[in-house]
């Protein structure tokens, strides 16, 4: 029988990772601890929704930086998961030439590294915006390379993939980068050591093609075409420390890759799936169930949407007095219900260019919170209630939409979880 994996969920939001993993195998993945804290808000609605659904786990509602090493040490987690905020990852040596990290405060990825260095989990799963692979603009890929260097220093390997959920049968065109991180002393990692000679790991050898195209976790769960887009591929040897990576990185990072023992190999892959995406019309509630408050009758608002979604050329003046033309391409005047939804943002449900704008039987309306939950593969009404001081309260529609704009497509996590389960069943 497969041993259970005890999970720590960081930056937990309203529980997207937990939903996905439990949908993969509730007996295998058992979330024992979570941390969710929103420093910019007086109320902690996301934590309270999480706590409403999972009151039996240890849910910690404080700044992650205030969780002590001793507290992390008490968590014997086999897996850490989380969708951490995207920030500036630049680092520098201190004045005393120490290897500690200096830079902007609140860079939350380093809190994950701190937790991992104390807990030493077997596996980790992370999620972030896909632009992470190209940031910062003046040194593209550096931030991701810093992360790989940090994880390598803790004796982990990393497989990554940019996944558009709609490419694999889901209802939202949401592109995110996912990391599968595994410790180098696990049976699976030893199997890779025996199969692939890392010392011969150069671009002309393409030793990891078989893993990226066929045998790796992402290859099995999210198939790709047997081609490298425009021949884009690269191998790169990372420096030993993160400061050198921050200062000297000159490589490239594409949407698919593997890092092992300080080297990474990356390719620009093309998704291949026989699953058709779910069209928007399939996740909409019957109109008889949609409250009138989601409809828009005000002509000014309707005209505003027509303007926001239309093409623009606007003359503007920068803060230093420079005059320039701001251009923006046009969008369809309302959503095509035969296509999957666009990427949901935290501004969903407001008069905003990015909001889903529906026209059904001649009437205009926004998405409902239930429909937003369906776009992210959450159960209906998952965000309707929260637990506040042991009392159940309803959550505002605005916050429910905000939660979903911040969330992830839980079925992607489910499939990653199934991939980990297969690895454990085969190698552990």
Q: Are 344 and 356 in contact (CB under 8 A)?
A: yes
What string of DSSP letters covers 59-98? EE-S-GGGS-HHHHHH---SEEEE-PPP--------TT--
CA distance 66 to 10: 13
Q: Are 175 and 195 in contact (CB under 8 A)?
A: no
Handedness of CA 285, 291, 293, 297 (dihedral sign): positive
Element (H, E) at 163: strand 156-164
Neighbours of 256 (CB within 10 A): 28
Does the annotation mark 426 as catalytic? Answer: no
CA distance 329 to 312: 7
Element (H, E) at 147: helix 142-153
Q: Are 251 and 145 in contact (CB under 8 A)?
A: yes
Q: Catalytic one among 44, 63, 65, 86?
A: 86
By CB atoms closer than 10 A (0-12, 13-18, 19+), residue 166 is: buried
Q: Are 228 and 202 in contact (CB under 8 A)?
A: no
CA distance 198 to 205: 11
Q: What are phi and psi of 254, to 5 degrees?
A: -105, -175
CA distance 189 to 157: 8
CA distance 377 to 201: 39
Task: Write out the two tokens for 213.
Answer: 């195209």
Q: Are 180 and 420 in contact (CB under 8 A)?
A: yes
Q: Are 283 and 376 in contact (CB under 8 A)?
A: no
Q: Which residues are catalytic?
A: 86
């Amino acid at each position: 029988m497969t041993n259970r994996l005890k999970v720590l969920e960081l930056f937990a939001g309203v529980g997207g990772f937990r939903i996905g993993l439990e949908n993969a195998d509730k007996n295998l993945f058992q979330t024992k601890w979570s941390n969710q804290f929103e420093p910019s808000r007086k109320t902690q609605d996301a934590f309270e929704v999480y706590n409403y659904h999972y009151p039996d786990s240890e849910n910690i509602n404080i700044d992650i930086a205030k969780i002590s090493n001793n507290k992390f040490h008490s968590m014997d987690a086999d897996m850490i998961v989380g969708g951490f905020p995207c920030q500036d990852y630049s680092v520098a040596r201190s004045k005393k030439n120490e290897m500690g990290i200096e830079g902007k405060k609140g860079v939350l990825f380093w809190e994950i590294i701190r937790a991992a260095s104390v807990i030493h989990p077997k596996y980790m799963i992370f999620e972030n915006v896909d632009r992470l692979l190209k940031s910062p603009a003046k040194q593209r890929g550096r931030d991701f390379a810093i992360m790989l260097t940090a994880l390598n220093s803790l004796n982990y390997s990393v497989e990554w993939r940019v996944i558009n959920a709609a490419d694999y049968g889901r209802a939202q065109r949401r592109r995110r980068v996912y990391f599968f991180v595994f410790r180098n002393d696990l049976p699976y990692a030893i199997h890779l050591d025996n199969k692939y000679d890392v010392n011969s790991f150069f671009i002309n050898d393409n030793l990891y093609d078989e893993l990226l195209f066929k045998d790796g976790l992402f290859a099995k769960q999210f198939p790709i075409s047997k081609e490298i887009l425009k021949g884009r591929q690269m191998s790169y040897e990372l420096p030993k420390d993160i400061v050198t990576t921050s200062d000297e990185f000159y490589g490239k990072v594409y949407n698919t890759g593997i890092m092992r023992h300080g080297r990474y190999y990356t390719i620009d892959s093309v998704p291949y799936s026989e699953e058709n995406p779910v069209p928007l019309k399939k996740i909409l509630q019957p109109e008889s169930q949609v409250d009138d408050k989601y409809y828009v009758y005000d002509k000014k608002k309707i005209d505003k949407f027509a303007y926001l979604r239309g093409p623009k050329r606007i003359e503007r003046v920068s803060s230093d007095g420079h005059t320039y033309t701001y251009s923006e391409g046009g969008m369809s005047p309302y959503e095509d219900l035969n296509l999957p939804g666009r990427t949901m943002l935290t501004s969903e449900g407001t008069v905003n260019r990015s909001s889903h704008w529906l026209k059904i039987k001649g009437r205009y309306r926004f998405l409902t919170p239930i429909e937003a939950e369906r776009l992210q593969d959450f159960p209906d009404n998952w965000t309707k209630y929260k637990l506040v001081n042991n009392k159940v309260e309803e959550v505002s529609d605005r916050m429910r939409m905000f939660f979903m704009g911040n969330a992830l497509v839980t079925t992607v996590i489910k499939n990653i979880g199934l991939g980990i389960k297969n690895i454990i069943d085969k190698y552990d």
